[in-house]
A and B are shown apart, each in its own frame.
Chain A
């Protein structure tokens, strides 16, 4: 019963490098989300996908791109990493909007030097 799976769990990058965080869910959920968590800032929404084939910006989209590859997978790409993108990234999914419960992955800790 995997739920939401994120890879990698840890990554260290140099400024300017690129990378993709992968996320997959096996609950047949329609909506998927990427958040970043920073001390004292809570969780901030980067991008979300209400359904397969759609993506929308959240609160802090600058410096990121996303791809909803299919219903199961939602990836987050950093094209040119910056130290300000050092954070813990969480992928989440839920069956529907509104009152649907959000299920989270275990997080990916990214450090940009």
Chain B
């Protein structure tokens, strides 16, 4: 079974401050990990993904995430928040083998607010 836990349903930062959104996963096999972003009244779009290559993954809009197997974590960071980063962010996991590798399981989401 696979699962994702996002710590903090709401994170608020000031413009220009560091953004850190936390994600921990559970998977019985090596995982694929994803971060998606959802702007109001839209579908989700991919920010970045980890597929067992480099453990530090760079995505769009200046975001990056680091896969840490020992901590079962895949936290999302951005050095300097911009007002346009305000959105809901979802971490997701997909397994790397077996019949369940088509399931993509999402966390409950973290709403990021950016204050001027």
- Say whether A and B bind each other: yes
Q: Report if A110 contacts B (CB, 8 A).
A: no
The size of the chain B interface, using a CB distance under 8 A, is: 28
Q: Report if A53 contacts B (CB, 8 A).
A: no
A98 & B94 in contact (Cβ 8 Å cutoff): yes
A48 & B102 in contact (Cβ 8 Å cutoff): yes
Q: Report if B82 contacts A (CB, 8 A).
A: no
Q: How far is it, in angstroms, between the C-alpha of A35 and the C-alpha of B92 when the chains are bound?
A: 13
A104 & B44 in contact (Cβ 8 Å cutoff): yes
The residue that A48 contacts in the complex, of B43, B90, B103, B108, with Cβ under 8 A, is B103
The residue that A31 contacts in the complex, of B43, B102, B105, with Cβ under 8 A, is B102
Q: How far is it, in angstroms, between the C-alpha of A17 and the C-alpha of B92 when the chains are bound?
A: 33
Taking CB as reference atom, which chain A residue is nearest B45? A104
A interface bracket (residues with beta carbon within 8 Å of B): 20 to 34
Number of A-B residue pairs with CB-CB distance less than 8 Å in the complex they form: 64
Q: Mark A29-42, 1 if CB is under 8 A from B, else 0.
A: 00101010000111
Contact A99/B43 with A43-B90, A45-B105 known, Cβ cut-off 8 Å: no
Contact A99/B32 with A40-B108, A41-B108, A105-B43 known, Cβ cut-off 8 Å: yes
Q: How far is it, in angstroms, between the C-alpha of A107 and the C-alpha of B39 when the chains are bound?
A: 12
Q: How far is it, in angstroms, between the C-alpha of A43 and the C-alpha of B90 when the chains are bound?
A: 9
Q: Report if A106 contacts B (CB, 8 A).
A: yes
Q: Report if B42 contacts A (CB, 8 A).
A: yes
Q: Which residues of B contact A (CB under 8 A)?
A: 6, 9, 32, 34, 36, 41-46, 49, 51-52, 90, 92, 94-96, 101-109
6 contacts between A and B (CB under 8 A): A45-B104, A98-B32, A98-B96, A104-B45, A105-B43, A106-B43
